[in-house]
Amino acid sequence: MPLVFLPDDLRFFLWGDTDQDRLAARALGATTPAEALVVTKTGRAARKPGEAAPLLGGLAALARMAQGDLEHAPPSVAAWSLASKLALDLVVRERVVPRIARAGGGTEARWVVSLAAPEDAARLAALARAMPAAAHAVPAASAGDGRAASTGKTSDGRARAPRAPEVWSAGALLRAFLDAVADALARGSATNHPGPPQRPARAPWEHRLLLALTGSPRTFAAEGLAERGLVADLDAWIRPALGACDVLRACFRLEPPEGDRGFVLRFLLQAPDDPSLLVPAADVWKARGRALKALGRTFSSGALGGPEEALLGALGTAARLFAPIGRVLGEATPEHVDLAPAEAWAFLEQAAPALREAGFGVIVPGELLASGRRLLRLRQRVVDGGRAAAGAGERDDRDQPEQPEPHDPEKPHEPLEEPQAPHAAHPPGEEATK
């Protein structure tokens, strides 16, 4: 009765011979008899007969399943129904971005989903954790045609037991499915793209990219010296919008004054699928290698270097959106930047929204949100002789700022609205067209 998604064939496959299996097959809509390579309960890859449904046909049927139907469906069918609903939700909300990826020795242009918003990444992570093993029992590419590789012979000449095939992880297969749906639906809706040029090889790269994103084939080839670095540049440009549950993103936490200390903008790394998981910059500078372990999880850097290079690169990008960050970029291990009251206000009013739009995390304490910002206005005074001078017409008792509440380590700061991935963006060097 297991239902799986076959990423290489872009179709669903349901196999089994019980009445429940046949009932589940009807839930997929129009199906055809087929045979596919799957991993059985014994851990062996084998070709099994079953029923196949095309990607979009199966997607529509699975997305229509009501809650009552899910409660009686096989667990793998219920899981892929939820995945189908998530895929459609992402596309409807335009959480789709173009990407150039290497495939089969060349490069292809495809549409993929954006999981930069933490709530979307969290939904995918929760679905992956709940996915039954049968729902992603698909051999990875290294499994070949299903014949498990032999590990040689034992010392007495007997053949060793074949290795179990590698299986797609739940998260990776779900991401492949979401990207496949995004690509299929985005191509299907592209009706106003220009026709193919008479000499495609001589057309501008942006024209050839548009053709690869809206038609067939998907192949996009960089031409000449000027375009050799194009694939890497475009990938770096779009990567922040992709999102990833195992890649930490830079996060900026504004901390109010305490005692003699003024405002501080703290640098951290944050898990997109769990905003409460924060790694201080001090811990990042101590890390070694390309992965960072924090709170029982292992995160990749999402960059060519390690987490240190990833954080430095993020700080450089953020400095273009909030100039005070640039003051500490010359330090070997920057952990924070001190802010004047006016700079803190500028961060709240201007930089925080821009940083969120760029895919960074932003955390602001509750007392600096909404009505609490009035306190920040009162703190923007000229210091004279070590005392804050009262503004004209103000009473002396109002000149004394309210003391911030003692910091409670058990009480998290209130985050601002989480970042939204760009609905439409322009490649590096391109100007927006009206």
Q: How many domains does the chain have?
A: 2
Whether 406 maps to a domain, the answer reads: no
Range of the domain at 116: 3-148+165-242
pLDDT of amino acid 344: 94
292 lies in some domain? yes
425: tokens are 């963006």
Which residue, 220, 242, 264, sits at the end of a domain? 242
Q: Which pLDDT score, from 0 to 100, does residue 44 have?
A: 86
Report d(CA 204, CA 189) in Å as an integer: 23
Question: CA 270, CA 246: separation in Å to the nearest integer?
Answer: 10
Helices (H), 266-337: 281-286, 307-321
Q: Does residue 260 share a domain with residue 238? A: no
For residue 63, give both structure tokens.
């997305």
Residue 135: inside a domain: yes
Residues 288 and 228 in one domain: no
Q: What is the pLDDT of residue 427?
A: 40
| Residue 78 shares a structural domain with residue 169 | yes
pLDDT along the chain (434 residues), means of 10: 90 77 65 89 87 93 90 90 97 91 73 86 89 90 38 51 71 90 86 52 76 81 69 73 70 91 92 75 79 58 63 91 96 95 94 89 80 53 42 35 41 42 40 38
Residues 267 and 395 placed together within one structural domain of the fold: yes
Same domain, yes or no: 280 and 199: no
Burial class (CB in 10 A: 0-12, 13-18, 19+), 354: middle
Which pLDDT score, from 0 to 100, does residue 94 have?
92
- The answer as to whether 412 is a domain residue is no
Q: Give the gyration radius of the chain's Cα atoms.
A: 27
pLDDT at 422: 37
Residues 60 and 198 in one domain: yes
User: Does residue 305 sit within a domain?
Assistant: yes
3-state secondary structure of 382: coil
Return the pLDDT at 286: 84
171 part of a folded domain: yes
Angstrom distances, CA of residue 264 to CA of 234, 235, 236, 382, 410: 34, 33, 30, 19, 20
Range list of H helices, 330-408: 341-346, 352-357, 373-379, 396-399
327 within some domain: yes
Q: b/e string for 83-115 if b means 16 or more Cβ within 10 A?
A: bbbbbbebbeeebbbbbbeeeeeebbbbbbbbb
Q: Which of 203, 223, 242 marks a domain boundary?
A: 242
Q: CB burial class (10 A; 0-12, 13-18, 19+) of residue 274?
A: middle
DSSP β-bridge partners for residue 105: none
Report H helices in 93-204: 118-130, 170-189
| 208, 314: one domain | no
Return the amino acid letter for 386.
G
Q: What is the pLDDT of residue 64?
A: 93
* Whether residue 212 is found in the same domain as residue 338: no
Tell me how far apart the alpha carbons of residues 87 and 115 are, in angstroms, rounded to a whole number: 11
Q: How far apart are CA 63 and CA 141, in angstroms?
A: 28
Beta bridge partners of 11: 6, 54
Integer CA distances (angstroms), 379 to 236, 257, 375, 391, 402, in order: 40, 10, 6, 11, 9
Q: Are residues 359 and 237 in the same domain?
A: no
Asked if 102 and 27 sit in the same domain, the reply is yes
Q: Do 222 and 326 fall within a single domain?
A: no
Residue 36 lies in a domain: yes
The DSSP line for 403-426 is PPPPP-TTSPPPB-SPP---SS--
At residue 89, what are phi and psi to the nearest 5 degrees?
-60, -40
Q: Looking at the structure, do residues 217 and 308 belong to the same domain, yes or no?
A: no
